[in-house]
Amino acid sequence: MTPVPIAEAANRFRKVIESLQADQLEVLSEAFTPDAHFKDPFNDVTGREAIVRVFAHGYKNCPNLRFVVDEMALVPDARVVFFYWRFLCGAPSDLRLVGVSRVMFDDEGLVVDHVDYWDPAEQLYSQVPVLGALLRWVRGRLSA
């Protein structure tokens, strides 16, 4: 079998992520291998069911959750794609996160490994009144 071109796999996955809805999380199962790995600052799970649970938890806490992919960078020989994205959670919190995902695809174009990189201290914790003040103080002490 001829491997699915990495650009095709990347575009297919981008469509899945950008069109994801709380009541249609089963499409994630179709995008990942059965033993796929997913990691972000709060989760480190393996398997389709666990990955779907992570996203279901996200939608539970942010019913208006959506992802927008602004840029992609392909590493064809490694079958890896980097996605630069925005995580948007509309009213009432208007939460916005920015991050990068390193996603590795198998020859069938399914996700084998998905690791999210973003800074929860800057983008989440800093919004908590006392914790945010403490983080700003630490950041000020450590900056040049």
CATH of the domain at 74: 3.10.450.50
Per-residue tokens: 78: 């490694």
Confirm whether 92 is domain-assigned: yes
Number of structural domains the chain divides into: 1
> Considering the domain boundaries, does residue 135 fall inside one?
no
* Contact (Cβ atoms closer than 8 angstroms) between residue 112 and residue 36: yes
Q: Is residue 102 situated within a structural domain?
A: yes
What is the pLDDT at residue 133?
55
Q: Is residue 53 part of a domain?
A: yes
Peptide bond into 92 cis (omega under 30): yes
**In-domain check, residue 113:** yes
* pLDDT mean values, one per 10 residues, the chain (144 residues): 95 97 93 97 96 94 89 95 90 75 98 90 56 57 66
Query: Which residue type occupies 26?
Result: E
Nearest of 103, 93, 112 to residue 73 by alpha carbon: 103
For residue 55, give the nearest of 23, 80, 85, 103 by alpha carbon.
23
Q: Fill in the amino acid letter for 31.
A: A
Q: Is residue 19 part of a domain?
A: yes
Domain, as residue range, for 39: 6-118
